[in-house]
Amino acid sequence: MRVIFNVDAISAPLTGIGRYALELAQGLASHEAIEELRLYSAVRWVDDPADALSSNRLFASLRKNLPFKTSALELYSTLRNVLFRAHTRKFQQFLLHTPNYILMPFDGPSVTTVHDLSAFNFPETHPPERVRFLERHLPKTLDRADRVITDSQFIADELHDKLGVSREKLRVVALGVDASYHPRKPELLADAMARHGLVAGSYLLVVATQEPRKNLIRLANAYAALPETLRRRHPLIIVGARGWLSADLERVLAPLEAAGSSRRLGYVTEADLPLIYAGARAFAFPSLYEGFGLPVLEAMASGVPLLTSNVSSLPEICAGISLCVDPRDEAKLGEGLIQLLEDEDWRARSASTGLQHAADFPWSRCVDETVAVYREISSPAR
């Protein structure tokens, strides 16, 4: 098979979709079924995923800083489409896969990956130009695509029920978890713990962008209501970039941070993040909506018991292993946090079962299942 793979999403700092695109690009490059792989980033071909990081940095900066963001985004998209059409005119017997929603114009078979419908379900939690762009272009992409990959059955059902995508087009391919996420002995964590001022085995960890959909305000309120002795033993540590609409979160966290009960580490390097996971006593991810919830799988792979939400894709990914509670009920969140931090029998069972479950999700499985989707629509190479 010959594949054109869009690597626009591979942009530093890597978030969930960027990680997915990077892992797929690397896996496809060495897959025995892929005869030829071409990577397209922004408005040009690139030789490898690392090139995409530098190529995309300029365009990401332009989209962020130009005035009239909606117009800038549409202008960039139009320019990219024109150049892509010109650059691929002679590419016969190729298929196109974009791992980030919107397809570029292409005459051959095409695949898109739709990770969630949060821009449609929670438009207030996204920049307005992104919402308008997806509202305008995603329906056309869904019509054109020969196959639509989703990260979970939950999102596949949403696409069918809400946007009318036929079941025949939909394929569920779960994400993977990197082998760097695994349990570690305390002595192997010492340097990372010292760098970030943490004590291994003590803290309650959250990894999430600080934006409304991640539900950190309710989590912080539930945590603040815990007994002081419990908070003193297990500080709330938040890893992730500062997002948008975060003024209310700032007000809730301020007294906790002043008392030393909570700290935000911001963006953490890829080298340190698995170590911070492995050093946690427990993990909390009470998101209101996820297409998959990769941090949940990363916590399981790290041998850390966790609490998450009983909505969207999260129960599907957790498979009954983690505590799944109503994310809008602060009392239930608080009860769950106490069990998460103090019930030693449950913690041991959950951590052990979670490790086994996460082992079923290597990135190689994601690559293989994606290639299987390609096979359904690809023409024999000439």
Span 147-164, pLDDT tens digits: 999 999 999 999 999 999
Domain membership of residue 303 (yes or no) is: yes
The predicted pLDDT at position 377 comes to 95
Tell whether 172 and 317 lie within a shared domain: no
Residue 328 shares a structural domain with residue 199? yes
166 and 210 within one domain: no
Q: What 3-state class would DSSP assign to 204? A: strand
Residue type, 64: K
pLDDT tens digit sequence for 210-229: 888 899 999 999 999 999 99
> Does a structural domain hold residue 271?
yes
C-alpha pair distances (Å), 236 with each of 65, 157, 375: 33, 35, 46
CA-nearest of 368, 364, 370 to 179 is 364
Expressed as residue numbers, the domain containing 211 is 186-358
For residue 227, the domain's CATH number is 3.40.50.2000
167 and 222 assigned to the same domain: no
- Which helix (H) or strand (E) segment is 253 a member of? helix 247-258
Q: What is the pLDDT of residue 124?
A: 84
Q: One-letter amino acid identity for 223?
A: Y
Q: How many domains does the chain have?
A: 2
For residue 96, which phi and psi values (nearest 5 degrees)?
-110, 135
**Residue 381's pLDDT band (boundaries 50, 70, 90)?**
very low
Please tell me the total number of residues recorded for the chain in this structure. Answer: 382
Bridge-based pairing of strands 170-172 and 147-150 is parallel
Provide the pLDDT confidence category of residue 64 given band limits of 50, 70 and 90: low
Would you state the pLDDT for residue 111?
A: 98
pLDDT at 42 (0 to 100): 81
Clarify whether residues 193 and 274 are in a common domain: yes
Mean confidence (pLDDT) of the chain: 92
Q: Would you say the C-alpha torsion 233, 235, 236, 237 has a positive or negative sign?
A: negative
Dist. CA 281–CA 304, nearest whole Å: 7
In a domain, 382, yes or no: no
Range with lowest mean pLDDT among 88-92, 318-322, 324-328, 346-350 = 88-92
In this predicted model, what pLDDT tens digit does every residue of 233-263 receive, in sequence order?
A: 999 999 988 766 667 888 999 999 999 999 9
Quickly list DSSP for 317-364. Answer: HHTT-SEEE-TT-HHHHHHHHHHHHH-HHHHHHHHHHHHHHHTT--HH
Question: Do residues 150 and 171 touch, judged by C-beta distance below 8 A?
Answer: yes
Instruction: Tell me the pLDDT band of 382, cut-offs 50, 70 and 90.
Output: very low
Beta pairing, strands 110-114 & 94-98: parallel
DSSP strand pairing (44-46 vs 36-41): antiparallel
Query: 145 and 191 share a domain?
Result: no
Domain for residue 150, yes or no? yes
Residues 307 and 371 in one domain: no
60 found inside a domain: yes
199 domain-assigned: yes
pLDDT of residue 65: 55
Residue 51: per-residue pLDDT:
76
Tell me the pLDDT tens digit for each residue of 70-129. Answer: 677 788 788 889 999 999 998 989 999 999 999 999 999 999 999 999 999 999 878 788
| Contact assessment for residue 267 and residue 241, using Cβ atoms and an 8 Å cutoff | yes
pLDDT tens digit string along 49-63?
877 776 656 555 555
Same domain, 85 and 203: no
Q: Distance of CA 366 to CAs 68, 173, 175, 359, Å?
A: 38, 6, 6, 13
**pLDDT of amino acid 379:** 63
Does 181 map to a domain? no
Q: Which of 62, 166, 56, 70 is nearest to 100 (CA)?
A: 56
Same domain, 139 and 54: yes
Residues 210 and 120 in one domain: no
**What digits encode the pLDDT tens for the residues 302-314?**
999 999 999 999 9
In a shared domain, residues 209 and 270: yes
Say if residue 34 is in the same domain as residue 134: yes
- pTM for this structure? 0.92
